Structure 1
Amino acid sequence: MDSDDHEASKKKDWEKHIEHARKATHVYQSDAASCSSDSGKSLFAVDLQKVILLPDMPGNKEAIFLSRLVVFNDTFARVNQFDPASVGKGHSYCVLWHEELRGRAAENIVDAFYAVISSTSERDIKDFVFWMDNCTSQNKNWILYTSLVQIVNSSNGPQIVTLKYLTKGHTHNSADGVHGNIETKMRKKGKVYDFPDFVECVSTSRKGLTALELCEFRQWVSRKRAMNKKCVLPKLLSIVEAKFEKGSRLLYYRTDFDEDMESCDFLQPKFDIKRLPEVNRVPRGILKEKKDAIVKKLCPMMPKNRQTFWKSLPVSESMDLIDDEDDPYEEEEQFCDERRENR
């Protein structure tokens, strides 16, 4: 390929990317305009906030150079938050947990979705729509898809759950504003000593925001069937919309917002779609040396009633998640699937 052909190909790819982004943004805005509090539908923009480290003690050199506790906030921002009719009904949610409990692998993100869907405020909602970015390790993977089939088919599950994806580089949504409010609240507070302090910051960062402390973790797994000539599944990266319906084990999906829905049975034939996985009640724990360093170097600078949280943390040989990248499992699995397709 000569340089002119290469440039023409790059231009074509860019134009295709921009068109995909335009379509996604248009559908997102249309969903926001059409969803009201009395529609029986909950519409959220979902985004995992950039990792927070606790204790947060600005200006403290010991804290800057110390490995601290990794805290997670998966935000579910209601897209029609400013609909006057939704006041008191349509809250946004921040699902909060930290590395002593669990990490940020795909199954932990499923726990956050389930916490919102099964929450007291949302338990009567039958139709959920979640807008999010294209991160395969968190928002677009076979663990999440398998789990949503189970959730909608459980006895108390909703009728429909739909996932819609914004285009990479064009993912600004309602959750970004929530994250900005939380960061502002933390700066005003000055020092956020422990996890309860952080939960308070989130809860008071803006009106209409509910902090859900994630304390129940299930053993969600992928039950995707093996791919062969008789079982052709869509490439995850190509999906722009995925839908799951009660009474069905199928994945309904689009690869273009202008196209009709397609469907596929991606699950293992004998998989029981009505049974939720067991709860894993064993805490993950943190490294002993990490806990000891925080207790020794930072706890003396805290009020005594904040030291209890740190001294009571369970320890284990778990990896320090401050060094962790996104879970590579799903991306590796997807790569292997695509290699098999191309053989």
Structure 2
Amino acid sequence: MLPRLEMFKKAIFASRLIVYNESFVPVGKIRDFPPFAVLWHEGISGRHQEDIISAFNAFLLHHRDVRNITLWLDNCSSQNKNWALFFFLVYIVNSTSISAETIHLNYFEPGHTFMSADSFHHQVEESLKRQVKTYDFADFEKAVQSSNKGKVQIKSMKLNDFQLWKSLHSVSKIKKQDPSFTMSKITELMVKRTEFVMYYKRNFEEEWKKLDFLLKKHIGEMPTAPIKTAPNGFERQKVENLLKAVGSIMPGNRKEFWEKLPEKVI
């Protein structure tokens, strides 16, 4: 949360701005693929499924020449397991925006959720501590960039980087193919170029099963999601209260960020 000024009690208890860091971190020592951190704050957008999917999109576009992509994810159903994400994966793997032939998702079993991203987030936390005072979003970007010995790629999301991805699936089609289908039971998922379906497993040992889940009208002609046109904004009263509380200790060149935050319409 910004500003991060832990030595000042009045800053801790003020209503602060939430910042987000959706990180894609390689497994093991892969020199060609440093951590990729997608950053934004609540004044621009939130943490709903369409926001997380937009972060996935930023990552995939950054690695547009990779032929086969495998990601390990936690089991958060609202963010990493939802029909809007599955639609997006089929859409992007069949687009000309990336070169991937397959995108493969693996989901950690409950209770086994330690990921490379956890280590990276710890490095970010240590970087923030070394920075001591984090006044605005640019300071936060600097802290993330300097973590992992500076071997980090960051993408600071702008408003037009967010798209309003929707769930374009057919419940009836899914039930006809697999009446016992439950999204929460998926352990692996894969999409392939030239195919408008998804493949899934309920455990890592079983054979792949195919699921034709898209609404018929979208097979072969998949619509792109509209770009977000208005920021979420941040309440002006909160900005005024924050500057009243810590304005005297905040450098003038940091106040500009707060004064120019888009205002939230209540």
Shorter chain as denominator, the TM-score bin is over 0.9
Q: CA contact under 8 A between 1:294 and 1:310: conserved in structure 2?
A: no
Give the superposed CA RMSD: 1.5
Normalised by the length of structure 2, the TM-score is 0.93
Residues 1-343 of structure 1 aligned to structure 2 (within 5 Å):
53-80=1-28, 82-83=29-30, 86=31, 89-119=32-62, 122-157=63-98, 158-207=100-149, 208-215=151-158, 216-227=161-172, 230-232=176-178, 234-271=181-218, 273-317=221-265
Displacement after TM superposition at 1:227 (Å):
3.0
Point out which structure has higher relative CO (alpha carbons under 8 A, 6+ apart): 2
Displacement after TM superposition at 1:256 (Å):
0.8
1:98-145: CA deviations, max 9, x gaps? 1011110111110111101101xx121121111011010111111111
Name the CA distance, whole Å, in 2 between partners of 1:205 and 1:260. Answer: 40
Normalised by the length of structure 1, the TM-score is 0.72
| SS, match of residue 143 in structure 1 | helix
Name the CA distance, whole Å, in 2 between partners of 1:224 and 1:62. Answer: 48
Q: CA contact under 8 A between 1:151 and 1:276: conserved in structure 2?
A: no
1:66-104: CA deviations, max 9, x gaps? 110000001100113x24xx3xx2221111011011110
Larger Rg: 1
Name the CA distance, whole Å, in 1 between partners of 2:243 and 2:177. Answer: 54
User: Which amino acid in structure 1 is aligned with residue 122 of structure 2?
Assistant: G
User: Which amino acid in structure 1 is aligned with residue 144 of structure 2?
Assistant: V
Name the CA distance, whole Å, in 1 between partners of 2:231 and 2:140. Answer: 20
Displacement after TM superposition at 1:262 (Å):
0.2
| SS, match of residue 161 in structure 1 | strand
| SS, match of residue 230 in structure 1 | helix
Name the CA distance, whole Å, in 2 between partners of 1:214 and 1:116. Answer: 11
- Between Structure 1 and Structure 2, how many residues are aligned? 259
Name the CA distance, whole Å, in 2 between partners of 1:152 and 1:259. Answer: 24
Name the CA distance, whole Å, in 2 between partners of 1:154 and 1:184. Answer: 39
Q: Percent identity at matched positions?
A: 35
Displacement after TM superposition at 1:317 (Å):
3.2
| SS, match of residue 253 in structure 1 | strand
User: Which amino acid in structure 2 is aligned with residue 211 of structure 1?
Assistant: I
